[in-house]
């Protein structure tokens, strides 16, 4: 298993998030790999992690979900992978005392690579689907709490995420009402909704 740290949009390494390349065993029957092994992954994360919930979404091409996070006292760490299709997966550091606060990073996750993304607590997370019927699966370290869930606007100019070019215009990207009306980083700061 190989592990790689993520760099943010300024070329600095983020403290915590990791790209995980599992050992995939292939033969004439297909393939096999461990997508979760507590002992191995606790060693990778350099801490004990307890996942309490598994989530899965299926999205058509051009759907953006996020940038979601959950406030204290129930922030969520996430282990993300794509089961089918492909996504542009993006995270934003919302840890106000971090040297990489308000910076973002991205990775392409797709079925054929089987790579996983570990997103520790304190980051907003979202993804843009690049193929039809994309299935994304992720484990979380805390249960979903509706009253603590927040969304950061993915198009906030202060964050400045650079998205891949699609065959759709920005107005054709499909988003939920909640995500279309998500908060700017400035609003989150004013409301004390960062970490």
51-90 pLDDT, tens per residue?
Answer: 999 999 999 999 999 999 999 999 999 999 999 999 999 9
| Half-sphere CA count of 49, side-chain side, radius 13 A | 27
Q: Which of 21, 68, 125, 143 is catalytic?
A: 68
3-state SS, residue 85: coil
What percent of the chain stands above pLDDT 90?
A: 93
Secondary structure of the chain as H, E, C letters: CEEEEEECCCCCEEEEEEEEECCCEEECCEEECCCCCHHHHHHHHCCCCCCCEEEEEEECCCEEEEEEEECCCCCCCEEEEEEECEEEEEEEECCCCCCCCCCEEEEEEECCCCCEEEECCCEEEEEEECCCCEEEEEEECCCCCHHHEEEECCCCCCCCCCCCCCCCCHHHCECCHHHHCCECHHHHHHCCCCC
Q: Looking at 31, 41, 108, 138, which residue is catalytic?
A: 138
138 catalytic, yes or no? yes
Structure confidence at residue 169 (pLDDT)? 66
pLDDT value of position 173 = 87
Residue 40, Cβ neighbours under 10 Å: how many? Answer: 13
Active site residue 108: no
Q: What is the pLDDT of residue 149?
A: 97
Residues contacting 36, CB < 8 A, separation 6+: 51, 79, 139
Helix (H) or strand (E) holding 39: helix 38-45
Model pTM? 0.94
């Amino acid at each position: 298993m190989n592990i790689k740290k993520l760099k943010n949009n300024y070329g600095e390494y983020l403290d915590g998030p990791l790209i995980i390349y599992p050992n995939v065993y292939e033969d004439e029957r297909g393939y096999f790999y461990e997508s979760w092994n507590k002992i191995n992954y606790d060693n990778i994360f350099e801490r004990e992690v307890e996942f309490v919930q598994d989530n899965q979404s299926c999205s058509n091409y051009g759907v953006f979900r996020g940038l979601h996070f959950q406030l204290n006292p129930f922030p969520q760490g996430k282990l993300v992978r794509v089961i089918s299709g492909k996504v542009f997966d993006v995270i934003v550091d919302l840890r106000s005392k971090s040297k990489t606060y308000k910076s973002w990073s991205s990775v392409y996750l797709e079925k054929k690579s089987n790579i996983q993304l570990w997103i520790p607590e304190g980051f907003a997370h979202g993804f843009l689907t690049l193929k039809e019927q994309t299935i994304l699966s992720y484990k979380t370290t805390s249960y979903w709490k509706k009253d603590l869930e927040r969304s950061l606007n993915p198009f906030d100019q202060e964050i400045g995420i650079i998205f891949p070019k699609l065959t759709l215009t920005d107005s054709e990207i499909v988003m939920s009402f909640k995500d279309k009306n998500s908060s700017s980083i400035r609003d989150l700061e004013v409301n004390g909704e960062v970490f």
